[in-house]
Structure 1
């Protein structure tokens, strides 16, 4: 099943069920928010969030021969608006929650001031052995958070639903955009859980090595380059 969505490219990945606050400053995205505000109450206020693959604002750049922007990831997540707060200077604060995944099938840079796309909704198959992977992934998540700050209290009541746990990894772990995109684009819940377990183990090991360095961490801090 396909649909047409307005797209908002961001330097992050939105997951189903994740709450994401946004500050809308640029005029073309203010236009998107105004369109959402004007929708009838019964119509869902929804748009798509796609992660930027490389570069900056990107949308003014041409698409490739297939109609796909080469600077955006192909798999994104629909965002449902929870609240919109308007400011006197024209800015908006918007809170959204991730709903369901989609794959971009074609982009349109002409129909509106902002990017729109034809998207295909992606299914959420469980995959083989998803339920059996949940305890392992939750254990890896606890080890990672313990290595991060030593606090495991927040993980005492982790969810048990395999799909929820699979997305929780990307929501709470300090991962790169590429790593989060791997999780979002996984073909099924079991594959996402296996990828999440691998990423958590890798990050916990890295944190362990950092803590084993005898010199003060300040020695390893780099200063911003002048621009």
Structure 2
């Protein structure tokens, strides 16, 4: 099944169920917010968030005065996630502060820069997993254990370590992908995985990699800032 969506290129990856606040200041995206707010009741107020592969999300101006999306040479990843508009605050300067929540994944099949002030795209909805099996539940339990150990390495506040993690394997996989200190490339690879079990296995590898690196950094006997500085003569 395909659909046509407004598209918002960003330097981040959105996952289903995760909150994404945005400050809207460019006129083309102000127009997008106005379009969504004016939709009839019952219509989904959502747009596609796609991570930028290369280029910039802020428009520049072409010689003829037209805004050029992403600086004119923006390249997008193929897989993104829709953002559902949940809260809109109009600002005195005409911009908006909005709160969105990720809903469903899609694959971009075609991008149109001319049909609207903002980018639009033809997208194909990607499959979402059904009820997990026993093997997926076991994987989720392993990810929770490793993720808590990882959080213990990056957080000083013990109260944050006691926070409840979701038991649903798919919800858990999206939360870990969005909150672990991963690169955009790592997150993008996780977003493209259709199967929850495969995403959880990939996250186990990434969390073990990151935890190993963090432990190695902590084992350095002097502050990293000193290692980056020239030696002081005696």
TM above 0.5, one fold? yes
Which one has a bigger Cα radius of gyration?
Answer: 2
2:152–2:161 Cα contact (<8 Å) kept: no
1:139 correspondence with 2:145: yes
Equivalences, count: 215
Distance of 2:118 and 2:160 partners within structure 1: 39
Task: Give the C-alpha shift of residue 19 in structure 1.
Answer: 0.3
CA RMSD in angstroms, aligned pairs only: 1.9
Give the alignment of 1:12-161 within 5 angstroms.
12-57=12-57, 59=70, 61=72, 71-125=75-129, 129-151=135-157, 153-156=159-162, 157-161=164-168
* Distance in 2 of aligned mates of 1:201 and 1:220: 26
Question: Post-superposition, which runs of at least 4 consecutive aligned residues in structure 1 deviate over 6 A?
Answer: none
Judged with a 3 Å threshold, the aligned counterparts in structure 2 of structure 1 residues 125 and 42 are, in CA distance, closer, same or farther, namely closer
TM-score calculated relative to the size of structure 1? 0.88
Instruction: Provide Cα deviations, 1:132-187, integer angstroms capped at 9, x if missing partner.
Output: 20111011101110111244543442211110111111121111100111111112
Gaps of 5+ in 1: 63-68, 223-227
The separation in 2 between residues aligned to 1:113 and 1:221, in whole angstroms, is: 47
Which ranges of structure 2 fall in alignment gaps of 5 or more residues? 58-68, 230-234
